Amino acid sequence: MSAIKPAVNAVKARRKFLTGATAAGAGVATLGFPMVSNAQTVNFRFQSTWPAKDIFHEYALDYANKVNSMSGGRLKIDVLPSGSVVGAFNLLDAVSSGTLDGGHGVLAYWYGKSPALALWGSGPAFGMDPNMLIAWHQYGGGKQLLEKIYANLKMDVVSYVYGPMPTQPLGWFKKPITKSEDFKGLKFRTVGLSIEIFNALGASVQALPGADIVPAMDRGVLDAAEFNNASSDRTLGFADVSKVCMLQSFHQSAEQFEILFNKKKFDALPAELRAIIGVATEAASAEMSWKAVDRYSADFVKLQTEDKVRFYQTPKSILEDQLKAWDVIIAKKSAENADFKTVLESQREFARRAGRWQNFTNVDYKMAYDHYFAPKKS
């Protein structure tokens, strides 16, 4: 018995030492590494403003997949197509009220709330391209201005602007547009402040969601329309109702997408999940840009070779008339709306610097393209 007792005491002492060491080690780990939440999966119900077959809805799914993967399944975003819960133009209200946890759309769709919101996409943006406009948003004060506008509108949302879109076509027509007068009386579809540009050219404009455009053209409710890009336009069936597409326009030459979250739902997330949402947005923005180059260029060829669409460049005189119309519109809106004037002046000052830098810095890519691919003169 006497031989066993010391051994037992030694075991107890060793256990006590190990317990203390483990606790001390845990204390060191707590000090040395950030705490990571291990809460159960949070499900967010999202809706896009796009038909399920549109590449824009694919972009929304791409974004959700990034968040779902990066969060290790702790945050799961389920994306529904336009109209599943609310109409495309009602998405902002639905996210703000909590009917939806989030969504994917464009700021021009909220033009009815405040004309200033359309400046994140409509118009020539003082010569900035889409990526430069996002640079203004991120680093030139745009983000803070947008947050202020949403707060004044009592929109309980968190907004991420991302995904620069290439210059959008002038539109799809029954015959080529050769001068601004050709718009007079034309029943035309566009959105945002672009409505006022085409109204100034003489068109009778309707704002319709993407899925409704081609059926309206087919029924004769519209004579012509614009939407966005070769892939979307081909998928939505524009080539079935028109064989003429005019490229290049200032009505939406620098637009981007917007990802929205209900602010209460967003703020309730752990810090690391909120960080993942932000990083995933930037990653999705880059991926979308690269995918767009590949898909749009491929569908541009298919529209010509398979669908027999004829593409024309918009005459310079029409582009000049768009700029003149825009000058009148922004002067009027600035006088009527303080937010509009503030956003516009912020963009102007950023564009004055950034645009000058870009125009002096970038080489003429078309010169190199023509050198290699343009037909050689005999």
Is 154 domain-assigned? yes
Which of the pair, 7 or 40, is modelled with greater confidence?
40
Over residues 197-206, the pLDDT tens digits come to: 999 999 999 9
Sequence-ordered list of residues with C-beta below 8 angstroms from that of 84, at least 6 positions apart, any chain: 47
Is 222 domain-assigned? no
Distance between CA atoms of 160 and 286, rounded to whole angstroms?
A: 14
Total Cβ atoms within 10 A of residue 88: 23
Q: What is the pLDDT of residue 19?
A: 44
Over residues 160-207, the pLDDT tens digits come to: 999 999 999 999 999 999 999 999 999 999 998 999 999 999 999 999
Q: What is the pLDDT of residue 11?
A: 40
Q: What is the pLDDT of residue 40?
A: 84
- pLDDT band for position 344 (cuts 50, 70, 90): very high
Is 235 domain-assigned? no
Query: What is the 8-class DSSP label of residue 54?
Result: S
Q: Which of 38-42, 81-85, 209-213, 372-376 has the highest mean pLDDT?
A: 81-85
CATH code for the domain of 269: 3.40.190.170
Is 216 domain-assigned? no
Is 185 domain-assigned? no
Is 199 domain-assigned? no
Over residues 235-279, the pLDDT tens digits come to: 999 999 999 999 999 999 999 999 999 999 999 999 999 999 999
Which pair of tokens denotes residue 261?
């979250």
Range of the domain at 281: 42-165+255-293
The position carrying tokens 């060793």 is 14
Strand order in the sheet with 224-225: 204-206, 187-189, 224-225, 171-173, 244-247, 310-313
> Residues 328-350: what's their mean pLDDT?
98
> Residues 318-331: what's their mean pLDDT?
98
Distance between CA atoms of 280 and 273, rounded to whole angstroms?
A: 10
Question: Chain-wide mean pLDDT for the chain?
Answer: 91
Provide DSSP, 151-205.
Answer: HHTT--EEEEEEEEPPPPPSEEESS---SGGGGTT-EEE--TTHHHHHHHTT-EE
Strands 244-247 and 171-173: antiparallel
Is 238 domain-assigned? no
Strand order in the sheet with 256-262: 75-80, 42-48, 102-105, 256-262, 157-164
Residues in the chain: 378
Per the structure, the count of domains in the chain is 1
- The helix (H) or strand (E) run that includes residue 128 is none
- The helix (H) or strand (E) run that includes residue 31 is helix 4-32
Query: What is the 8-class DSSP label of residue 53?
Result: T
Q: How far apart are the first and last CA of the chain?
A: 112
Distance between CA atoms of 48 and 106, rounded to whole angstroms?
A: 10
Is 353 domain-assigned? no
Percent of the chain with pLDDT strictly greater than 90 = 87
- pLDDT band for position 34 (cuts 50, 70, 90): very low
Query: Exposed, middle or buried: residue 374 (CB in 10 Å: 0-12, 13-18, 19+)?
Result: exposed
- 218-256 core/surface letters (b: 16 or more CB in 10 A; e: else): eeeebbbbbbbbbbbbbbbbbbebbbbbbebbbbbbbbb
